[in-house]
Structure 1
């Protein structure tokens, strides 16, 4: 009974969508049921996708989740057709110009858990046609003894070991990033100082609040005086004791001033008592 089921599975042919070719693959030699990849030539408008050149890019659907080992298995799978230039995997089809490379190799823990799509760029246009001809051959083995693919607990252990950050490498990358950032900020400040007061292309002059002497930094006392002036200006413009909350704020400030004056008077009286001398005659 089991042999008849295996025969039926082998004889069954996968139905590919219109325009796609079917490539049967197997995870290993022990597996009987193949998995099917659907491939076709990637075609877009001329000069709109520079990362995926015309006549040399193969679009692959239904890529299984275990084919995520740095795209090495797909590169090895199609290297028999032609030399592979690059392999790009993503969760769904998207334009190549909008993809951005990660800024750092650390803390990049986003892993896809489902089926994906892939863009395989060959070095020769003959690689696309040769890949389509794989549909007429026997299922291609992805994981072999020479190139095994880790699964299960071994894959989890390897992923965890790779997630451990080396402090020395992290510090080196952070220092390089901060040095580049400081250089960028210095260039922007030098450019702003050079263009300060000069009209732009349309004749407009950018006015900034730097004061009469922009080279001298403001002290804390000067900042406090500027804040007090701004506060007095706002208080002069707004309506006083118009709303209920303004009444409450006025009373609260008045009580605070009275308490402050009372404490100052107490200190003055204590000082005067300490300075007074006892003269009985």
Structure 2
């Protein structure tokens, strides 16, 4: 089968979930190239892969592309990202599995591995799932996901204690620094900070409205009213018009009172 070339330098490679599977998947690969190289993703040794299936993780990709050469690192992202994801530690900081079609960066040990990966043909499809790849499918995957969701109480207790020790140490350090402000040390130096002693204003909706009203009042006081001749003339005309309207309304009220008035002495 001839290789397929696609725009933007991508090449299509046939892959299957298992050796017995009749469903064909396509992985699109090309050399990773960016303007500013990242140490974790060297351009001469990194393969950029898109359309990676949701069930395929870093371990499976490392095994799949190990036929081209030794793989040192694999990074999966939801979308193209030139950076390297941070390594998270602890129970609560575990990276969530990307259960979507994603992109991956496969880093080989040598440039020859990248060259062999780019030279792959479709005569022999890549196998994404086998016993050695570590990928689990079907009920085995869901059972493993359920087991990993259960927390180990001993590990949880250890992590909480470690966090509280670090938190208490940080609070003591901040308290010590607060006490040292304005006091001279052994050499006579005084710590000076730009921290204000005034407490900040709570940015609630009521306080924000009051501040805006004050700003409007200040702005209205700064404005010059009836400064020009035409402004004075317009203000007089508006005042006369208002008086006329009020006079007409008062006349209507008086006429209405006269019509409804009835003298009943008994």
Same fold (TM over 0.5): yes
Note the residue ranges of structure 2 that are not aligned, 5 or more in a row.
184-189, 199-266
**Are 2:3 and 2:12, in contact at CA under 8 Å, matched by a contact in 1?**
no
2:136 alignment partner in structure 1? 150
Unaligned runs of 5+ in 1: 1-10, 210-281
Q: Which of 18, 22, 36 is equivalent to 1:32?
A: 22
Q: Is the 8 A contact 2:3 2:121 kept in 1?
A: no
Aligned counterparts of 1:75 and 1:205: Cα–Cα separation in 2: 52
Asked if the contact 2:91–2:156 (Cα under 8 Å) also holds between the matched residues in 1, the reply is no
The corresponding residue for 1:141 is 127
The residue number in structure 2 matching 1:115 is 101
Give distance in 1, aligned partners of 2:53 and 2:102: 7
1:131 aligns with 2:117: yes
Tell me which of 54, 77, 80 is aligned to 2:64. Answer: 77
| Partner residue of 2:158 out of 172, 178, 192 | 172
Q: Which residue of 1 aligns with 2:36?
A: 46
- 2:192 is aligned with 1:192: no
Query: Tell me, what secondary structure is at the counterpart of 2:21?
Result: coil
Structure-2 change in CA distance of 1:135 and 1:180 (3 Å)? farther
Give the distance between the partners of 1:161 and 1:170, measured in 2 at CA: 15
Q: CA RMSD in A?
A: 2.7
C-alpha distance 188-127 of structure 1, shift in aligned 2 (>3 A): farther
Contact 1:14 1:36 in 2 (8 A): no
Q: Contact between 1:64 and 1:115, CA under 8 Å: does it hold in 2?
A: yes
Counterpart Cα distance in 2 of 1:205 and 1:144: 61
Q: How far is the alpha carbon of 1:192 from its aligned partner?
A: 3.4
1:259 matched residue in structure 2: none
Output the TM-score relative to the length of structure 1: 0.60
Q: TM-score, normalised by structure 2?
A: 0.63
| Contact 2:54 2:101 survives alignment (8 Å) | yes
Hey, what does 1:254 align to over in structure 2? Answer: none
Which residue of 81, 90, 95 corresponds with 2:77? 90
Does the aligned pair in 1 maintain the 2:29–2:48 contact within 8 Å?
yes
Give 1:8's aligned residue.
Answer: none
**Distance (whole Å) between structure 1 residues aligned to residue 194 and residue 182 of structure 2:** 8
Report the alpha carbon displacement of residue 160 of structure 1 after superposing the two structures with TM. Answer: 0.3
The question of whether the paired residues in 1 share the 8 Å contact of 2:46 and 2:107 is answered with yes
- 1:193–1:136 Cα change, 3 Å: same
